[in-house]
């Protein structure tokens, strides 16, 4: 039993069963032993999983291209902030800034990384040391003051702690308890929050007996936090996820919880505690609806692959073919970003806008699936 597991066991002993949401929060974000607060390498070949930014620098370049257009459509403000939440090792930031060095946009751009983990911040600062005047760090979004620009995240929302629920004779919440040998067991009980029942009514979710799934209420809090600081501009979100009608379909009756440990996927969050990532897919219908309720309108939604093709990744591939010494290797990496078998369809892109009428963006020029939400 590792120290984090002991800490969770002790809490259950003292206070009784805890919700899965509390368990996931401790497993990922405990200040001493949580997965995202330890110094071990999380991403890349030596870590537990890959993100798009690790596959090829073109990912950051394409994201930068879209943000450049956002700046242009907003009238080219002199001070435009890109605020990245959940920046990982900092590769998107580096690749984005590298790609924009020779543009008119670069002089107006200020990049802010929101990072609570001292270990992660140290790694980011080493990688981004060539941009001392362009990149700043903050521990929380509300430390940034008033923002005009774009708030960006890549695989952030899937790591928000979720409530785990199961339909029995009525909707029940799953709690974590201990057996006689202090092993974790799941038990069901009353919902810990009225918001969970409201969520099911809000999105007209009907599930059969035995159906297990998740409810991510943290997204609503996240949007309200953004609304407090975003004066005018965009929210660019890239993540695993589905519209509500697909998320809660009959064939997804075991939910979407996935864990990543040394590049192996499992569905067992109660092992490798503090040493593996735990994720749940995003209900994009909730992101859209909750945003619109506070005045943040949806500009576009589509798969990552078509988004990148719309922004001219074909031209990037041609340039790589002309100048790369290892063209086949690079193209193989890029294919994982855009093809359905890779992240092209498993990851979706949503852009929301706070301001007047949302402008039309190049990233959704081929396909915009807002109506599917």
CATH code at position 244: 3.40.50.12710
Given this model, what pLDDT does residue 342 score? 84
pLDDT at position 120 = 86
Residues of the chain below pLDDT 70: 39-54
pLDDT in tens, 121-177: 999 999 999 999 999 999 999 999 999 999 999 999 999 999 999 999 999 999 999
Tokens in use for 57?
């620098």
Q: Which of 20-47 are b and which e, b meaning 16 or more Cβ less than 10 Å from the residue's Cβ?
A: bbbbbbbbbbbeebbbbbbeeebbbeeb
Domain count, the chain: 1
Q: Are strands 171-178 and 184-189 parallel, antiparallel or unpaired?
A: antiparallel
Report pTM.
Answer: 0.94
Contact present, 288 and 245 (Cβ < 8 Å): no
Question: Helix 313-323 to helix 327-338 angle, to the nearest 10 degrees?
Answer: 170
Q: Half-sphere exposure of 110 toward its Cβ, with a 13 Å CA cutoff?
A: 14
> Which residue, among 120, 78, 71, has the nearest Cα to 100 in the 3D structure?
71
* Assigned domain for 19 exists: no
Confidence (pLDDT) at 301: 98
What pLDDT, on a 0 to 100 scale, did the predictor assign at position 42?
A: 54
Does any domain span residue 176? no
Residue 40 falls inside a structural domain: no
Q: What pLDDT shows up at residue 49?
A: 45
In a domain, 93, yes or no: yes
In a domain, 314, yes or no: yes
Quick one: pLDDT at residue 298? 97
Residue 48's pLDDT is 45
Domain containing residue 225: 52-158+216-372
pLDDT at 263: 74
Beta-bridge partner residues of 110: 81
Residue 53: per-residue pLDDT: 63
Classify residue 178: in a domain, yes or no. Answer: no
Residue 358 belongs to a domain = yes
pLDDT score for 330: 85
Q: In the structure encoding, which two tokens stand for residue 371, read together?
A: 């109506």
297 inside domain: yes
């Amino acid at each position: 039993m590792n120290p984090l597991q002991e800490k969770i066991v002790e809490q259950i002993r003292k206070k009784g069963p805890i919700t899965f949401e509390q368990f996931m929060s401790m497993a990922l974000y405990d200040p001493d032993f949580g997965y995202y607060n330890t110094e071990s390498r999380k991403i890349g070949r030596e870590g537990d999983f890959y993100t798009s930014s690790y596959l090829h620098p073109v990912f950051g370049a394409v994201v930068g291209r879209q943000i450049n257009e956002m700046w242009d459509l907003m009238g080219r403000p002199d001070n435009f902030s890109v605020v990245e939440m959940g920046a990982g090792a900092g590769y998107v930031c580096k690749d984005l800034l590298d790609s924009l060095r020779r543009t008119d946009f670069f002089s107006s751009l200020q990049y802010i990384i929101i990072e609570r983990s001292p270990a992660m911040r140290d790694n980011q600062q080493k990688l981004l040391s060539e941009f001392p005047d362009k990149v700043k760090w903050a521990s929380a979004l509300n430390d940034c003051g008033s923002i005009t620009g774009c708030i960006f995240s890549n695989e952030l929302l899937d790591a928000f702690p979720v409530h785990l629920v199961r339909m029995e004779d009525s909707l029940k919440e799953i709690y974590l308890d201990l057996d006689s040998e202090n092993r974790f067991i799941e038990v069901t009980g009353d919902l810990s929050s009225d918001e969970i029942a409201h969520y099911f009514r809000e999105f007209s979710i009907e599930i059969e007996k035995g159906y297990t799934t998740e409810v991510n209420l943290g997204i609503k809090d996240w949007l309200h936090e953004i609304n407090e600081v975003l004066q005018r501009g965009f929210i660019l979100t890239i993540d695993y996820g589905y519209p509500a009608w697909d998320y809660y379909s009959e064939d997804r009756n075991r939910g979407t919880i996935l864990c990543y440990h040394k590049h192996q996927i499992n569905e067992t969050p109660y092992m490798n505690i503090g040493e593996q990532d735990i994720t749940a897919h995003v209900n994009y219908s909730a992101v859209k609806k909750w945003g619109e309720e506070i005045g943040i309108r949806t500009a576009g939604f589509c798969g990552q692959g078509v988004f990148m093709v719309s922004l001219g990744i074909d031209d990037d591939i041609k340039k790589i073919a002309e100048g790369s010494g290892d063209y086949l290797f690079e193209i193989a990496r890029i294919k994982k970003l855009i093809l359905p078998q890779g992240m092209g369809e498993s990851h979706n892109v949503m852009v929301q806008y706070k301001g007047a009428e949302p402008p039309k963006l190049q990233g959704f020029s081929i396909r915009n699936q807002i109506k599917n939400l």
